[in-house]
Amino acid sequence: MKRNCKIRYLLTAAALAFAASGCNGASQSVPPSDDPAAESAESTGESAPHSPESIESTLESAAQGDPAAIENAAYAKAVEYSARRRGLALVVIDGDRVALAVGQNGHRSDETHRLHGASESFWGPIAVAAERDGLLDLDERVASTIHDWKDERWKKDMRVRQLLDYTSGLESGVWPLLQENPANRYERALSIGMIAAPGQRFQFGPSHLAVFGEVLRRKLAPSESDALAYLERKILNPIGLKIADWERDPAGNLDLANGAQMSAREWAKFGTLIRDSGHWKGEAVLNADDIQACLQPGEVEPRFGLTFWLNTREPNPVRGRRSTAGQAALYPGALEDLVMASGAGNQRLYVIPSLNLVVVRFGEADRDWRDPDFLDLISEAAAADR
């Protein structure tokens, strides 16, 4: 099972890296989309057209074997769209209420599932929280903690912030960290080569967060803490978010980029914290300015902030940087405040402050999944439900 997860992430990361390089052409939709080649073997084929009967039956059957289900007829088309594309669970939070919570295709809405690459989204907020705590500075050189890099070309100039917006200049790390499956992923990550000077190129892949994990490990060592304990103290425990598991390598290092496992309902709590600018049930858990700092478009890849995908595109490429300008927005023409965490197999967390929505979708790989199509249905359903 773990090997299959890693292979799927390999293919997805390779596709995203290819898209970010500008070699994919104008037809590429959005960078977080899963690799069609990875999904073709599992695809259910062309989706049948919607009909009133199929929509009704899908909604009625969604709760079977799911005692925690909350049905909502307004979301029937979104439920069917997800179910027909190998969906496993769908949860919608509208304001303070659970508007929808259904399991799909034999799964329950409270069943745990791996987030794959969407695990990355926790670490931008943690980084800004660590900066506010005085644990680190986002603009400090990584070499001030990783001392072996002080004399290495390019690596000596890398900043912590660039590990979080994926412009560190490091190679993706897909093959050495996932295919090789090293016993110590952090140690292996430190040996990964550079493909560009820091701040010049966006490169999707697990290398950046593996190095950030080592930075956190060294920063937290004097307090006898680690990255997961710090995440729990700063975010998870205050909002009551319970993870089922977070994968570690044999050396005990957390897989920051790909290792989280939790239920859709639990993941929605994190989305609510982001939607509400760091507040949970009226109490400040994180600083609102810090959340906004995670959601600022990057100069090289404006659709990516600090470990979150954003619904933006860059109108004016930054001179001298390898930009992905010209790529499509996540949801063109609408929902400019849309924020997304995306993992292989079409795992999705959508945060839409303007609609007061948080949407979590679990699934398995299906080449017919389209984020804009699904968001159309979610937007229509939210309007009809009010």
Q: How confident is the model at residue 327, as a pLDDT?
A: 65
Q: How confident is the model at residue 94, as a pLDDT?
A: 98
Amino acid at 29: S
| Number of domains forming the structure of the chain | 1
pLDDT band at 55 (very low <50, low <70, confident <90, very high): low
pLDDT (average), residues 253-265: 97
Positive or negative, the CA dihedral 273, 107, 105, 59 is negative
Condensed to tens digits (0 to 9), the pLDDT of residues 70-120 reads 999 999 999 999 999 999 999 999 999 999 999 999 999 999 999 999 999
* Better-predicted residue by pLDDT, 15 or 235: 235
Q: In Å, how far are 87, 88, 133, 277, 320 from 137, measured between CA atoms?
A: 40, 39, 10, 21, 26
Q: How confident is the model at residue 40, as a pLDDT?
A: 33
pLDDT (average), residues 296-309: 95
pLDDT (average), residues 303-308: 97
Please tell me whether residue 340 adopts helix, strand or coil conformation. strand
Percent of the chain residues past pLDDT 90, beyond the cut: 75
Give the closest residue to 4 by CA, choosing from 31, 33, 42, 36: 42
Q: How confident is the model at residue 81, as a pLDDT?
A: 98
Residue 37 has pLDDT above 80, yes or no: no
DSSP per-residue codes, 106-175:
T--TT-EEE-GGGGGGGHHHHHHHHHHTTS--TTSBGGGTSGGGTTSTTGGG-BHHHHHTT-S-B---HI
Phi-psi group of 350: left, alpha or beta (phi > 0 → left; psi -120 to 50 → alpha; rest → beta): beta
The CATH number linked to 380 is 3.40.710.10
Percent of the chain residues past pLDDT 70, beyond the cut: 80
pLDDT band at 7 (very low <50, low <70, confident <90, very high): very low
Residue 141 has pLDDT above 90, yes or no: yes
* Better-predicted residue by pLDDT, 38 or 285: 285
Residue 38 has pLDDT above 50, yes or no: no
Tokens standing for 72?
Answer: 């909502």
Q: How confident is the model at residue 57, as a pLDDT?
A: 52
Q: How confident is the model at residue 176, as a pLDDT?
A: 94
Of the candidate ranges 29-33, 58-62, 69-73, 156-160, the one whose mean pLDDT is the lowest: 29-33
pLDDT band at 42 (very low <50, low <70, confident <90, very high): very low
Q: CA-to-CA distance for 109 and 148, rounded, in angstroms?
A: 47
For the entire predicted model, the pTM comes to: 0.86
Q: How confident is the model at residue 66, as a pLDDT?
A: 87
Q: How confident is the model at residue 286, as a pLDDT?
A: 97
Residue 50 has pLDDT above 80, yes or no: no
pLDDT band at 36 (very low <50, low <70, confident <90, very high): very low
Domain that holds residue 15: 2-384
Report the mean per-residue pLDDT for the chain. 86
Condensed to tens digits (0 to 9), the pLDDT of residues 161-194 reads 999 999 999 999 999 999 899 999 999 999 999 9
Condensed to tens digits (0 to 9), the pLDDT of residues 313-360 reads 655 444 444 444 446 789 988 999 999 999 999 999 999 999 999 999
HSE-up of 196 (CA within 13 Å, CB side)? 18
Condensed to tens digits (0 to 9), the pLDDT of residues 13-34 reads 444 443 433 333 322 334 444 4
